[in-house]
Structure 1
Amino acid sequence: MRIGELSRATGVEVETIRYYEKAGLLPPPSRADNGYRAYSSSHLERLAFVRHCRALDISLADIGRLLDFLDHPEAACGDINRLVEAQLDRVRARIVSLQALERQLSALRRHCDEDLQVRDCGILQELVGAARGEACACHERGAPA
């Protein structure tokens, strides 16, 4: 199959497929007589694997490690467990960060609950004040912006 067909079959953009090839996540495809790349079902499967890993927000470096494990099925899977555990730690840290961001935005949002003119918007006043180094409603006193 050609790259466009592979793209449609996996939902991965053509440029991303080319990038994955350059990054070594996909083996180089063979070339047809006309010079076009000719992808096989193994490319389709590998690309679907990469896409699924990216949907789990696994880094390209870690996806490369997982692909190496796939290529060496006799290896122990302890490192895979540690890799996924590290990913879980990153996700959990991001959740905590996003919850703090939600609290900050909610505090900011409470400063303008009317349909006012821009000059009277409490949200913009808070943001401008923070840009000037003043305390902002969305950050506790002494907390970094």
Structure 2
Amino acid sequence: MSGALTIGQLAKAAGVNIETIRYYQRRGLLDEPRKPLGGHRRYQDEVVTRLRFIKRAQALGFTLAEIAGLLTLDAACACTNTRALAIRKLALIEQKMADLAAIQHVLGGLVQQCDAGHGGAACPIIEVLAKEGC
């Protein structure tokens, strides 16, 4: 790929839709090129790389605000700062996994109670959800 791309070509090359590009522009993650008189905005090839970076970072769980910070890091401090951000993100993911495991355990127990069938007794899941302080 060489030269300048239309927004449609950019979207296709990066594997995103046009509205995603516009949204990233509004969020300040991508610059919006000037529109020539009577023409269409053109994007440089390196914008494809930036879009792919954003999408890969999102797939790893980084928020757009965090990605904006990653995009501003220079080469000198990028590794240290990025590592610190990744460590925080990893800790958050591990906490979410622990929370999900606890939820899985509780729901599994409730389903087992339902499966055991208490013959006309109230549904244990509804009872737990109806209790205050849950």
TM-score normalized by structure 1? Answer: 0.73
What's the secondary structure of 1:40's corresponding residue?
coil
- What's the CA shift string for 1:10-64, capped at 9, x where partnerless? 2323222211111111121343554433222111110000000000010111111
Match of 1:14 in 2: 18
Match of 2:103 in 1: 101
Match of 2:131 in 1: 133
RMSD over aligned CA atoms reads: 2.7
Large movers: runs of 4+ above 6 Å: none
Q: Provide closer, same or farther for how the CA distance between residues 111 and 32 of structure 1 changes in structure 2, counting only shifts above 3 A.
A: farther
Match of 2:86 in 1: 84
TM-score normalized by structure 2? Answer: 0.78
What's the secondary structure of 1:74's corresponding residue?
helix
Opposite residue 107 of structure 2, the aligned amino acid is L
CA contact (8 A) 2:29 2:68 kept: yes
Opposite residue 6 of structure 1, the aligned amino acid is L
Per mean C-alpha deviation after superposition, the further-off stretch among 44-53 and 7-16 is 7-16
Q: Distance in 1 between matches of 2:59 and 2:91?
A: 16
Higher helix share: 2
What's the secondary structure of 1:27's corresponding residue?
coil
Which segments of 5 or more consecutive residues in structure 1 lack a partner in the other structure? 135-143
Q: Distance in 2 between matches of 1:26 and 1:68?
A: 12
Structure possessing the higher relative contact order (Cα contacts under 8 Å, 6 or more residues apart): 2
Q: Distance in 2 between matches of 1:60 and 1:121?
A: 50
Match of 1:29 in 2: 33
Q: State yes or no: 1:5 paired with 2:9.
A: yes
- Equivalences, count: 129
Which segments of 5 or more consecutive residues in structure 2 lack a partner in the other structure? none
Q: Distance in 2 between matches of 1:82 and 1:51?
A: 20
